[in-house]
Amino acid sequence: MAEASANGPAVLRGRHDFPEISGRIGSIVLDGRLPRHFWTAFFLCFLLVLLFLYSITYLISVGVGAYGIDIPVAWGTMISNFVWWIGIGHAGTLISAVLLLLRQPWRASINRFAEAMTLFAVAMAGLFPILHLGRPWFFYWLLPLPNVHMHWPQWRSPLVWDFAAIATYATVSLLFWYMGLLPDLAVLRDRARSRPAQLFYGILALGWRGSAYHWARYQVVYFLLAALATPLVVSVHSIVSLDFTFAITPGYHSTIFPPYFVAGALLSGFAMVLTIAIPLRWAFSVKDLITVRHMENAAKLMIAAGMIVVYGYVSEAFFAWYSGESYERAMMVQRAIGPYAPLFWTMLSLNCGLLQLLWFRRIRRNMPLLFVIAIAINVGMWIERYVIVVTAPSRDYLPSAWGEQSLTWLDFGILFGSIGTFFALVFLFIRILPAITIFEVEELAEEEGKLR
């Protein structure tokens, strides 16, 4: 990396030209000659998709009693899955919107699939509040629809706000992602050889011609959407966290939750980015487009977000003691030594302990290790959500009502099913859409003066 660009070391490596870049990225999609292990992986994910469908069918036909919820712990894995996926959905928007507004050029090669990841994660997340319901077929009662009951939603309930927040977030992310796709869709349209491909990408490209007008409009809209999306990064998970803070249950009723949830979201989000990007750059040999610098920055953001999460843990414990609330204290003690203690300590060792490794540059630049850490953090974050959801009601006010959950196969069927579905979607996306933003990479190459 001889020459340095305006901000820090160069992002890209080697010399490129436009046809070469667009060719390389486009060819992944257009000639679709994908390595065998791509299809093997896809097939495996597809099996999980089937598991997902089976589990959902079972859940809806038998009832929510089939998975591990009870009285007192009436919320379970459906909620923790929901929070977890929503969290993962954050990194994409952050990378695309925030880094765009902050003019971080290194976002270029990873923002596309980060956005896609966001979409799919939000899609997954959107399912869970519905699967959580005792009578899912009535989920639309959460919406203010004109009905013959003369009955409206109860606006004081955070669940109603949730519904709105997620819907908004999903819509904006979708628009933002599609907007960014337009120029590349046009490129694919122009490079496509077969008629069907030309039509497919042609229709999606909405007649993009790359005229100065198009670009001008594009700039305006794209930046506007970015400006719209940025506050959502904060708002969505804050509102999700209100589901808990609004309740008087000890362990839920805490003001630290909103920032702490958002940070947690970013942590898991970037962990997921790495989980996808590291295999991606290796599998499609685009190491020179998605470089170690990307990975390293993501890792840095992880530790930043992670430390806020750690702060969240600490303040939760501290205020449980400092508030003098006997119930709050008892709950924290029970969390640490009660039936859920193993989960609690696993969570700490992963999200607080393992995370610290990322301080070391050598570890940040060691892809296999970084990959493992990313996965571990994802696991840790899921456990965190489950611990939060479950420990509180299992040890609340009346000891006579204390009790634990016993998870069933269905809890895991649905969790792993959703993970499989998520990756299956990612694979499909890589197959039919450019996973790396062609024109922005070109633009980046131009800026860094790496054009032949």
Q: Does 147 bind other proteins (CB under 8 A)?
A: yes
The interface with other proteins within residues 175-194 (CB under 8 A) comprises 183, 187, 189-190
Minimum Å gap between C-beta 276 and other proteins is: 27
The 379-418 site mask, x for binding other proteins (CB under 8 A), equals: --------------x--xxxxxxxx--x------------
Which residues between 8 and 27 bind other proteins (CB under 8 A)?
Answer: 18, 22
Q: DSSP assignment of 275-324, as one string?
A: HHHHHHHHHTT-TTTS-HHHHHHHHHHHHHHHHHHHHHHHHHHHHHHHT-
* CA Rg value for the chain: 23
Rounded Cα gap, residues 303 and 299, in angstroms: 6
Task: In angstroms, give the least distance from the CB of 262 to other proteins.
Answer: 22
Binding-site size for other proteins (CB under 8 A) equals: 81
In terms of CB distance, is 47 or 206 closer to other proteins? Answer: 206
When asked if residue 214 is in the footprint of other proteins (CB under 8 A), the reply is: yes
Residue 271 beta carbon to other proteins: minimum distance, rounded to whole angstroms: 28
Under rule CB under 8 A, residue 439 binds other proteins: yes
Site string for other proteins, 48-87 (x = CB under 8 A): --------------xxxxx--xxxxxxx------------
Considering only residues 275 to 334 of the shown chain, the ones binding other proteins according to CB under 8 A are 326, 330
Q: Site for other proteins (CB under 8 A): which residue of 206, 224, 314, 337?
A: 206
Strand partners, 16: 451
Q: Is 255 in contact with 312 (CB distance < 8 Å)? A: no
C-alpha to C-alpha distance for 355 and 369, rounded to whole angstroms: 12
Distance of alpha carbon 118 from alpha carbon 111, whole angstroms: 10
Judge residue 61's burial from the number of C-beta atoms within 10 Å of its C-beta, 0-12 exposed, 13-18 middle, 19 or more buried: exposed
Alpha-carbon distance of 328 to 89, in angstroms, equals: 31
Which residue is associated with the tokens 């765009």? 100
Stretch that binds other proteins, among 34-42, 82-90, 141-149, 310-318 (CB under 8 A): 141-149
Q: For other proteins, which stretch binds (CB under 8 A), given 204-212, 311-319, 356-364, 377-385?
A: 204-212
- Restricted to residues 220-259, the positions that interact with other proteins (CB under 8 A) are 243, 246-249, 252
CA quadruple 101, 103, 108, 114: dihedral sign: negative
